[in-house]
């Protein structure tokens, strides 16, 4: 694999970088990690109405070693996070990550101890897509944003990559459950 960032700049290498980046941006192979309702919108994006093939990203790969664009669509729990990290580590470099929807980016409405409150706490994210759920057009715009990143430098900017952290302990302290007084009749008041 050519690491275009290691090449010195001259007429030949800058043109080579353009060609390599053009090939990368035009053949992104997504690794879908769809856990909830956002996954349905992800599926719709691949259907004929929206036709993600126009951007060269229709070849969803379920083998991480053959994918370079992870799309996390849906909420991720603490138990799932090590699996997600494992899949991310198995993907080939250079690789990019889209966090699709409020749940993947922030935990969404699931402000609970078991739900990751934003996957970027544990893995790098290049593009965030807002919405609950985001429409397919919004996901396509996210893919175009990834293409722009690839066009600009071929790899995520230096310093942006975060080391993987291990998802083990929730930091959330749950509130105690309210206790309903029991009457003699056996029913709560
Ligand atoms: S952001 Fe909304 S649509 Fe997407 S997984 Fe969460 S609840 Fe479902």
- CATH number given to 29-153: 3.40.50.12280
Alpha carbon distance 96, 85 (integer Å): 13
H or E element: which one contains 119? none
- Residue 115 is given by DSSP the state B
Peptide linkage before 14 cis (omega within 30 of 0): no
The three-state DSSP-derived secondary structure of 45-66 is HHCCCCCHHHHCCCCCCCCHHH
Cα(50) to centroid of ligand 1, in Å? 20
- 62-112 pLDDT per residue, tens: 899 999 999 999 999 999 999 999 999 899 888 899 999 999 999 999 988
Cα(158) to centroid of ligand 1, in Å? 31
Look up the pTM and report it: 0.79
Reported confidence tier of residue 37, pLDDT bands at 50, 70, 90: very high
Atom 6 of ligand 1 has which residue's CA nearest to it? 103
Contact 110, 37 (CB under 8 A): no
């Amino acid at each position: 694999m050519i690491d275009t960032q290691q090449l010195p700049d001259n007429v030949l290498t800058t043109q080579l970088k353009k060609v390599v980046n053009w090939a990368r941006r035009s053949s992104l192979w997504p690794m879908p990690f769809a856990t909830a309702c956002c996954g349905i919108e992800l599926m719709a994006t691949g259907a004929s109405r929206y036709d993600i093939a126009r951007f060269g990203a229709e070849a969803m790969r379920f083998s991480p070693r053959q994918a370079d664009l992870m799309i996390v669509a849906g909420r991720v729990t603490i138990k799932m996070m090590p699996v997600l990290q494992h899949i991310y580590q198995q993907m080939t470099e250079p690789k990019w990550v889209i966090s699709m929807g409020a749940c993947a980016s922030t935990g969404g409405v699931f402000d609970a101890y078991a739900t990751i409150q934003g996957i970027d706490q544990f893995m790098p994210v290049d593009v965030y897509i807002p919405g609950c759920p985001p429409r397919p057009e919004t996901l396509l715009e996210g893919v175009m944003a990834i293409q722009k990143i690839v066009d600009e430098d071929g790899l995520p900017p230096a310093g942006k990559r975060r080391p993987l952290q291990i998802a083990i302990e929730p930091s959330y302290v749950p509130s105690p459950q309210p206790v309903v007084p029991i009457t003699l009749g056996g029913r709560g008041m």
